[in-house]
Amino acid sequence: MSVPSFQLGSRKLVAALLTAGVLGGVGASALQHVQWSAHAQGAPAVMAQSAPAAAPMVSLPNFTAITQQAGPAVVNISVRGTRKVSDDEDDGDDADAAPSANRGQQVDPNDPMQQFFRQFGFGVPQQGMPRGFGRQVPQEVPMAGEGSGFIISPDGTILTNAHVVKGAKTVTVKLTDRREFKAKVLGSDPKTDIAVIKIDAKDLPVAKIGDSKTIQQGEWVLAIGSPFGFENSVTAGVVSAKGRALPDDSSVPFIQTDVAINPGNSGGPLINARGEVVGINSQIYSKSGGYQGLSFAIPIDLAVNIKDQIVSHGKVDHARLGVVIQEVNQAFADSFKLPKPEGALVASVEKGGPADKAGLQPGDVITGYNGQAIVSSNDLPAAIATARPGTKAELQVWRSGKATSVQATLGGNVSKGEQVAGNEKVGKGKLGLALRELTPQEKRASGSQQGLIVEQAAGPAALAGVQPGDVVLSVNGAAVNGIEDLRKQVSQSDKSVALLIERNGQKIFVPVQLG
């Protein structure tokens, strides 16, 4: 199983985001208020002074009943196949093994611009050697792995994770009654990590599908799966958070739980206290390769949407807006005069795409989608992930210091959809840029009539990642056609400016704090 990785928290500590199914569960203690009484000889009993009202009793769900009800519909999935590896990859056969983070080309963790441009396809040469030096041609190696799934129809339709069956030549499903069947993959969607497989059987036990929209933070949930091949293992915990966006380009509003999940749980069900499936265990966040209290499940509502498309059409068509967005930090909020550092900052708009047709512009901050608040930039692609192409969307937008709204019609699949740019660090001091206007030849080459080219970068601009050769297109959302335009915008800014930078055809906003 391929395992994506990402960085959270300190950039010095890299943690792997493992593709391993999870299911949240239970963890609480019942508190009983005890009233003490004091007895004096010849006097009636007196209650303890100022005793508070008794706390309500809390009981644990019946995990035995839930397991007996839902367990027979959970299956073990084993796969065999091959995958391509190069010299910078592990070639172990554990499909749920954790790979080392940041393989291949090395990226300076303290250089956010370098990380951003690598994300969008611009490789970074390894230190001390030219790009491609010492690399071998990718080779096919045997692959074997195990995962989990659950039956959703009596005739053998099963839901699991796409990464469980990725690259599989053969897929074998084992039921709780120990019968085994060869399965056919009806379709998979790597973007949401959902796959649908089918076995030739009838009168099978079926998992009860719930409503993931109704689950609440702190609610008890249960996971059943095959961690490390230990079939029909049950673990429990609570829902830690809802709508959690992860920096893995999946656009899934994950359910976060604290249930004990490990490799092999992938594709298994997340079950509530009523025995209903509310999610599909998909990923864990770990520094060790094993469970560390952070597990993520795909909401069942989204999974059923994807399943319906696969069963009906054999493929999935995702909605898209056609923008590249960035996180809004405090420096951006100051630059764009936002009340709070919330929303999705539009760095660039796909020409002719849905956002372009709707009138969205670089520098707009999307603060709402169909009435749903966009707090983190990842909230936007997560919201769009549940929509179909052609859906009408009302976007709440912050533009030029004022709130407005934009009507857009979401488009269909393209190669890149909504992308999220990395956060940029800033330093204190002067702007630190030496700039000049573009020559006519440079304007023709770039296809733009505006912008200033960076001759030298120092101070806070350099710390923010601006480099010689970058083109400054706008300041705080206002187009820059000359040096005076830039000076005017900088003079009107209090704490920081947001520079729209173009490098190698890619655009990103960079916040630069002013001294």
Q: What is the pLDDT of residues 58-79, one digit of tens each?
A: 678 889 999 999 999 999 999 9
Q: In angstroms, rounded to a whole number, what is the distance separating the alpha carbons of residues 413 and 396? A: 23
CA distances from 250 to 191, 427, 444, 491 (A): 5, 31, 36, 40
3/150 same-domain check: yes
**b/e per residue 232-252 (b: at least 16 CB within 10 A):** bbbbbbbbbebbbbbbbbbbb
- Please name every residue paired with 315 in a beta bridge, in sequence order, or none if there are none: none
In a domain, 122, yes or no: no
Query: Do 498 and 476 meet the contact criterion of CB atoms below 8 Å apart?
Result: yes
110 is in an annotated binding site: no
Contact 485, 491 (CB under 8 A): no
Classify residue 43: in a domain, yes or no.
Answer: no
163 with 288, same domain? Answer: yes
Does 190 share its domain with 219? yes
H-helix segments, 23-161: 63-70, 112-119
pLDDT at position 316, please?
Answer: 87
Q: CA-to-CA distance for 476 and 335, rounded, in angstroms?
A: 6
Domain presence at residue 498: yes
Closest alpha carbon to 2 in 146, 149, 121, 164:
164
266 among the known binding-site residues? Answer: yes
Beta bridge partners of 222: 236, 271
Residue 37 counted as domain residue: no
Is the C-alpha dihedral spanning 301, 303, 309, 311 positive or negative? Answer: negative
Residues 308, 371 within the same domain: no
**Is 253 inside a domain boundary?**
yes
Residue 388 sits at φ, ψ, to 5 deg, of -105, 150
- CATH, residue 455: 2.30.42.10
Quote the CA–CA distance of 216 and 412 in Å, as a whole number: 32
Q: Are residues 312 and 330 in the same domain?
A: no
One domain, residues 311 and 328: no
State how far the Cα of 193 lies from the Cα of 137, in Å rounded to an integer.
28
CATH number at residue 75: 2.40.10.120
Same domain, 67 and 157: yes
Domain shared by 414 and 456, yes or no: no
Q: Is 163 annotated as a binding residue?
A: yes
CB 93 within 8 A of CB 153: no
C-alpha–C-alpha distance, residues 79 and 188, integer Å: 15
Question: What is the spatial distance between Cα 227 and Cα 417, in angstroms, rounded to a whole number?
Answer: 33
> Where in the sequence numbering do the catalytic residues fall?
163, 193, 266
Q: How many domains does the chain fold into?
A: 3
Q: Tell me: do 300 and 332 sit in the same domain.
A: no
Q: Is 429 annotated as a binding residue?
A: no
The C-alpha atoms of residue 137 and residue 139 are separated, in whole angstroms, by: 6
318 marked ligand binding residue: no
Q: How far apart are the first and last CA of the chain?
A: 49
Return d(Cα 302, Cα 385) in angstroms, integer. Answer: 8
Other CB atoms within 10 Å distance of the CB of residue 410: 20
SS3 assignment for 451-476: CEEEEEECHHHHHCCCCCCCEEEEEC
Please classify residue 214 by burial: count the beta carbons closer than 10 Å to its beta carbon, then call 0-12 exposed, 13-18 middle and 19+ buried.
exposed
Q: Which residues have a Cβ under 8 Å from the Cβ of 47 and sit 6 or more positions away?
A: 35, 36, 37
Domain shared by 366 and 255, yes or no: no
In sequence order, what are the beta bridge partners of 367?
none
Flag residues of the chain having pLDDT under 70: 1-58, 85-139, 247-250, 413-430, 446-447, 515
Domain shared by 165 and 237, yes or no: yes
pLDDT of residue 389: 87
Residue at a domain's end among 264, 287, 316: 316
Per-residue pLDDT tens over the stretch 244-270: 877 666 678 899 999 999 999 999 999
Hey, how many other C-beta atoms are within 10 angstroms of the C-beta on 332?
Answer: 25
Domain that holds residue 226: 1-26+60-99+136-316
Indicate if 461 and 393 belong to the same structural domain. Answer: no
How many other CB atoms are found less than 10 A from the CB of residue 506? 18
Tell me which of 420, 448, 475 is where a domain ends.
Answer: 420
Is 125 a member of any domain?
no
Q: Is there a domain that residue 113 lies in? A: no
Please check whether residue 426 lies inside any domain of the structure. Answer: no
| Residue that finishes a domain, picked among 285, 316, 347 | 316
